Amino acid sequence: MNIIDIINKKRLKQSLTDEEIKYVIENYLSSTIKDYQMSSLLMAILLNGMTDNEIFSMTKYMASSGEILDLSPLGDNVVDKHSTGGVGDKTTLIVAPIVASCGVKVAKMSGRGLGHTGGTIDKLESIPSFNVNLTKDEFINQINDINVAITCQTENIALADKKIYALRDVTGTVESIPLIASSIMSKKIALGAKKLVLDVKVGKGALIKNLDDARQLAKIMIEIGKKNDIEVICILTNMNVPLGNNIGNSLEVAEAIDILKNHKKGHLTNLCIELSSHMVALGLKIDYDEAKKLVLENLENGSSYNKFLELIKYQHGDISKLPTSTHKYKIKTNSEGYINDIDAYKLGILSMHLGAGRVNKEDQIDYSAGIVLNKNINDYLEVGDTIMTIYTNKKIEDLNIDNTIFKISSQKTKKEKLILEILK
C-alpha cells in the first residue's frame, strides 16, 4: 500500500477502503506522507467526493488519532455547538454565555479561520491575554465552575484533523462536504459531548453554497452522530449576507459584546436566540418554546452578559483593551437607492486581504483589521453616504473596492429567510 496508488485511485473516482484511509491518516500524522502528497489527495476528494462509508472511516480514524475526552463526570446536560463557517459569524461568542446562563454546560472546542471565513479562536485571541489553550483539567474544571469553556483544538485531540485542517486552508480544499463533515465530527467525537447543535451555513458567504449540498452535509453529520451516540440537530441558516455588521476579529468581539449587553436587534441576534433555544432545549430536556422563553429572559436581565464577563475573566482576557487599527478608510457610495444585496463572500475575501485572515499557512493575523458595514439590506443610500468602513494596519494607496459587493435598487427587496430548515 502506498500514497501514490491511493491518490490515483481517488483521482479515478474509486472508493477507498477502510484500511487505505487508516493508512493515509496514520502515515500523514507521522509525516511519512508529505504535505504535497496529502494536498493531492485532498484535491481529488474535493473533485470526486467520498461515499458515506469512506466518510465514516475518515471520521473514525481522525477522531482516534488523539485523546478522546470523557465528559460524563459533567453530567448529561453538556451541549456543544458548531458552525460550518461564515462571514461575520461570531455566534459562539454570544450563544455560549447565553446557554451557560440558562444552566446548561457548554463544552466548546473551536477552530481558527478557514479561507474567507473567520474562526472563533482567532476572534478570542484578539482579546489581550485571553487563554485559548486550556488543559484538559482546566477545561473540565471551568465547565464545572461556570458552565462554559471555549478552547482551541489541543495538541492531543484529533491530531490528524488539526494537521489536515491547516493544510486545507491554504490548498483550496476547504469547500468539500466529506472533508467538512469528517473534520467537524471527528473533533466532536473526540471532545466527548453527546448533544450537539450544528449551524450549517448556506449561501455565498459560506463554504456550502446551495441547499441541496447543505442537506447532504447535515444528513451525513447526523448519521455520524448516531453511530457515535451523539444527538445532533442541524439548523440550516442563510449566509448570503454577512452576519451582523462587523467582519474581522476584534471588531466581531465588539459586536458580540454589544448584542449581549444591549440586546441589539437584527438577524445576528435572531440567529443566536434560535441556536441558544435549541441548545437549552437539548440540555435541560425541555421543549423549544420553554427554552426560548428562558433564553430571552436571560438576554434581557443581563445574566447572559454577566456570564460572558465571567468567561473572559476565567480565561484571563481583558476586553477593555481590544486592538485597534492605525488606518481607517470610509467607503462612500456614488449611487442612491435601497441596498438589495450584499455579497458576503467578496467581503470575506476583502477582510482576509486586509489582514483579518490567512492567505498562507504561516500568515500572522492582524486582529484589528476588518470591515464595519454602515448600511445593511433595505437601508436607503444617498450619494456620498458611507456604506462601509475599512480598518487595517496596511497603508492602502488604491482601495479598488469591488463595486459589485453591494446591489442597489430603486425598490426595497424581500428579505430572505434566516432559518432555512431544521434536520434531526
Active-site residue identified among 183, 276, 304, 351: 183
Active-site residue identified among 80, 89, 122, 161: 161
Active-site residue identified among 81, 112, 168, 204: 168
Catalytic site includes residue 187: yes
If phi over 0 gives left and psi between -120 and 50 gives alpha, with beta otherwise, what is residue 72?
Answer: alpha
Cell numbers standing for residue 142: 471551568
Catalytic site includes residue 183: yes
Active-site residue identified among 81, 82, 204, 215: 82
CB 241 within 8 A of CB 344: yes
Active-site residue identified among 60, 90, 187, 375: 187
Catalytic site includes residue 250: no
Comparing CA positions, the residue from 303, 252, 263, 261 lying closest to residue 124 is 252
Cell numbers standing for residue 293: 422563553
Long-range contacts of 152-157 (CB under 8 A, 24+ apart): 152/109, 152/110, 152/111, 152/112, 152/121, 153/109, 153/110, 153/111, 153/187, 154/67, 154/109, 155/66, 156/66, 156/67, 157/66, 157/67, 157/69, 157/109, 157/187, 157/190, 157/191
CB 221 within 8 A of CB 246: no
Cα gap 365→168, rounded to integer Å: 17
- Cα–Cα distances (Å) from 385 to 148, 241, 374, 391, 408, in that order, read 42, 20, 9, 18, 13
C-alpha neighbours within 13 Å on the C-beta side of residue 32: 10
Catalytic site includes residue 215: no
Catalytic site includes residue 410: no
Instruction: Tell me which residues are annotated as active site.
Output: 82, 161, 168, 183, 187
